[in-house]
Amino acid sequence: MMRYVIMLAGIAIGALVQLFLPAWPFFGGIKPPVLAALVLYYSLNRAPRDMWLAVFWAAVLHDGLDLGAFGPALLAFPVIGFLAHRIRFEIFVDGVVTQFIVGALGAVLAMLVMVLVYAITGQRPFHFGYTMLRLIGSGLLGMVTLPLVSFGVNKFEAALPKRRRCGWQ
């Protein structure tokens, strides 16, 4: 039980970090995808139940804190979580290069789903050039964010007391 609490609290802290990070005009005004990176991390490293819990909680936080209806993250995060979870035994999940690639692909995929949701629902205006900028920007930011998030969560978990039902060791 305690590990779930710690995981959910960690994701909530990740949401706060993403809230307070500045948007990057050169990357289409998007923010570093901390929540998407956390989803990828738990999908790559945890059992399905943990993964789905992380996906659902991160999506609820993202959509709850964002303007507009619930939906973009609730669609995007399960997609990237499911795909990452499927391939986790076929890749070196702790390799930095792997994390660069998975982080970039995951962030681009999440952004693509969000672009589609916003375009179809008409909540945001669609500009091809701006969308491409956002996709490229999200890839670059995701590439940087996932290794940093993985490093941070690993360090955090390593610092936890090694007790049953508390740490992951």
Partner 1 sequence: MLAFILPSSFSLKGKGAVRGVLAPAERGTSGLAQRLNEAAAAIRGIGGMVEKNRELAHELVRIQTELNTLRDAEAENVRLRRAFKFYRQRPETLIPCDVISRNISGWWNTVRVGKGSAAGIKTSHAVISPDGLVGKTVEVSKNTAEVLLVSDPAFRVSAKVDRVHTFGLVRGAGADLKGQPVARMDFINKDAKIKVGDEVVTSGLSGQSGAFPKGVHIGYIVNVHQDGSGLYQYAELAPSATVGLLDYVFAVSGQAAEGAP
**Least distance to partner 1, CB of residue 103, Å:** 17
**Least distance to partner 1, CB of residue 121, Å:** 12
Is the Cβ of residue 35 or residue 93 nearer to partner 1 in the bound state? 35
Residues of this chain that interact with partner 1 (CB under 8 A) are 15, 18-20, 22-26, 28-31, 35, 62, 65-68, 72, 114, 118, 123-125
Residue 80: partners with Cβ closer than 8 Å, 6 or more residues away: 36, 39, 40, 43, 106, 109, 110
Is the Cβ of residue 18 or residue 45 nearer to partner 1 in the bound state? 18
Strand partners, 24: 30
Is the Cβ of residue 29 or residue 95 nearer to partner 1 in the bound state? 29
Is the Cβ of residue 62 or residue 85 nearer to partner 1 in the bound state? 62
Encoded tokens for 137: 């920007």
Q: How many helices (H) and strands (E) does the chain have?
A: 6, 0
Q: How far is the first Cα of the chain from the last one, in angstroms, to the nearest whole number? A: 15
**Least distance to partner 1, CB of residue 130, Å:** 8
**Least distance to partner 1, CB of residue 122, Å:** 10
Is the Cβ of residue 2 or residue 19 nearer to partner 1 in the bound state? 19
**Least distance to partner 1, CB of residue 147, Å:** 21
Measured CA to CA, the distance from residue 168 to residue 80 in angstroms comes to: 23
The upper half-sphere exposure of residue 38, i.e. CA atoms within 13 Å in the direction of its Cβ, equals: 30
Measured CA to CA, the distance from residue 124 to residue 121 in angstroms comes to: 8
Encoded tokens for 167: 């740490």
